[in-house]
Homo-oligomer: A and B are copies of this chain.
Amino acid sequence: MTAEIWDVIIVGAGLSGLSAAYLLKKRNDKLRILILEGKDRVGGRTMSKEIPAWKGVDRWDFGGQWVGSTQTHIMELIKELGLEIYPQYNSGKKVHQIGGPDAKVRTYKTSIPTLSPLVLMDFTQFLWKIDRLCATVCVQDPSRTPNALELDSMTLHSYIEQHVWTRELKEEMELSSRAVFGMEPAQMSFLFFLMYAAAAGGVLALLENTPGSAQEFKVKVPTPLLCLDRLSQVHTTRLFLLIDVEWAKVKTATNTFLCRAVIVTCPPHLAAKIHYQPALPIQREYLTQNMPVGHMIKFIITYKTAFWRERGFSGEIVARPSSECPFCVTFDATSPSGNAALVGFIAAQQASQWSSRERRKAVVASLIKYLGPEAASFIHYEEKDWAKEDYSGGCPVNVMAPGLLTYYHPSLRKPCGRIHWAGTETATQWCGYMSGAVQAGQRAALEVLAELCPLTLTLEEQEALRHSQAANTPVERTTSSSQRSCLCRAAVIATLTVSAAFLLARNDIKWTEM
């Protein structure tokens, strides 16, 4: 069997791989690039599908879907490709049921949930603490964070247990962990959580759909960047992948390819399944052994009309885990062409517990409970259990277990011979998001260009690469602006809390309840 020869082989045709290919081609269109993909489609953890809707059929995203104005890497790409975005619908009442089995269903219209003054005070002090810690995290090299070892030696759960006073807020934080990572707070390092939040500009940015936050916009063409795949040859290969680190030889079950550089973009737990010859550095092996992926089931349910809007709801529901309600959060998902829909997420342990149960009935029953009886008359219910997707095995992101960041983090991005590492987990800005995938793909592409055709790099790019690869990276305070905004935010929330407590004491304000 003679080996095919390529300049660059990219393993994984997700956003990171496609972005890498796109940049490589843009800088040097003579480069022969091959993308190897296990799935029979491109897009990785982004995926769209047509399903029955009020006006025939329409297309929805079943993977990554939101972008935000501070997500510069994906926003620039969207602009460059001439794609349109539109804001996440969030007018009207949000539904909220948190605080133990007997929690009341509450609604609120602000960005902060309707919480009792005590819980609000708890929220304020906790957010203050976390955001202050966030501001000290060096995303580029988290081991340089003050008290890194201590922060990385505890789980997010342990930190919550130690610093949150009220059951409501504990539940709220647990639910946030599930919704953001598809993981229970017990499964992740607290320092990893801080790094992740710092890479997004703060904790609230992860949770909200306000300007600059993670759920701000959607793209009009679902999973839009898939058009990138036309740029390179995508070879679908199932099973068995061997990478010869020294010779840059990539073997699949049926083919052998030779190349000058390899970019591995698949999530860490899948990168760990590849056989490398000779073995990768020990630190790299230990890292990928300890970065489990989240568990997320995403559903879209289509309706004739967005009846919730008519009832004054935004479509956003935040619900505590229970044996009746599988989802933790829903949002309005009405399509740009006006087909009414809701999107929801069944995450982490809820996903695991519900993975072999009939979910549709329970989802619809919960929607009826929270939004009204019209929820029963849906047109179509479609879902995607990402844990069951071959060559993904989970979604949305791989997290780090305690002890990883301080001990093995440097091997996350460090090239091994001719292998370069991409994928959203290796990003330093909006790590875990589509934007992070693009940033990581572009960074890996620049690394490869620096080796194969260095003249295509600008001086700034060369400098940035040197900086990111240097062992002794100076401590970066990537979130100093976030720290300032956090101080302002905390001050505002503190004022709000005191005012709320005062008003409550006066007994002339009634908390909105359904």
Contact = CB atoms under 8 A, between A and B. Distances in A.
A41 interface: no
A410 to B, nearest CB: 11
Residue of A242, A289, A394 with most partner-chain B CB within 10 A: A289
Interface string A375-408: 0000000000001101001100000011110111
A283 interface: yes
Interface stretch (A94-102, A149-157, A316-324, A328-336): A149-157
Contacts of A157: 153-154, 402-403
B240 A355 contact: no
B240 A285 contact: no
B152 A186 contact: yes
A436 interface: no
Given A282-B387, A349-B407, A401 B290 contact: yes
A447 interface: no
Nearest to A287: B292
Residue of A183, A275, A286 with most partner-chain B CB within 10 A: A286
Interface string A239-279: 11010000000000100000000000000010011010001
B286 A407 contact: no
A187 B287 CA distance: 12
B187 A402 contact: yes
A279 B390 contact: yes
A390 B161 CA distance: 41
B393 A285 contact: yes
Contact of A184 (B155, B279, B393, B403): B403
Copy total for this chain = 2
Contact of A273 (B158, B184, B272, B408): B272
A282 B352 contact: yes
A210 B403 CA distance: 32
A185 interface: yes
Nearest to A387: B282
A320 to B, nearest CB: 16
B290 A295 contact: no
A293 interface: yes
A110 to B, nearest CB: 32
Contacts of A161: 153-154
A352 B406 CA distance: 12
Interface in A211-251: 239-240, 242
A154 B275 CA distance: 33
Contacts of A158: 153-155, 158
Residue of A283, A401, A404 with most partner-chain B CB within 10 A: A401
A158 B185 CA distance: 15
Interface of A: 149, 152-155, 157-158, 161, 183-187, 239-240, 242, 253, 269, 272-273, 275, 279, 282-283, 285-286, 289-293, 295, 349, 352, 355, 387-388, 390, 393-394, 401-404, 406-408
13 contacts: A153-B184, A155-B158, A155-B403, A186-B402, A187-B402, A239-B275, A240-B240, A273-B275, A282-B295, A282-B355, A283-B352, A286-B387, A352-B407
Given A157-B402, A289-B292, 20 more contacts: A153-B155, A153-B158, A153-B185, A154-B154, A158-B158, A183-B403, A184-B407, A187-B402, A187-B407, A239-B275, A240-B240, A279-B390, A279-B393, A282-B355, A283-B352, A286-B295, A289-B291, A290-B290, A292-B401, A352-B408
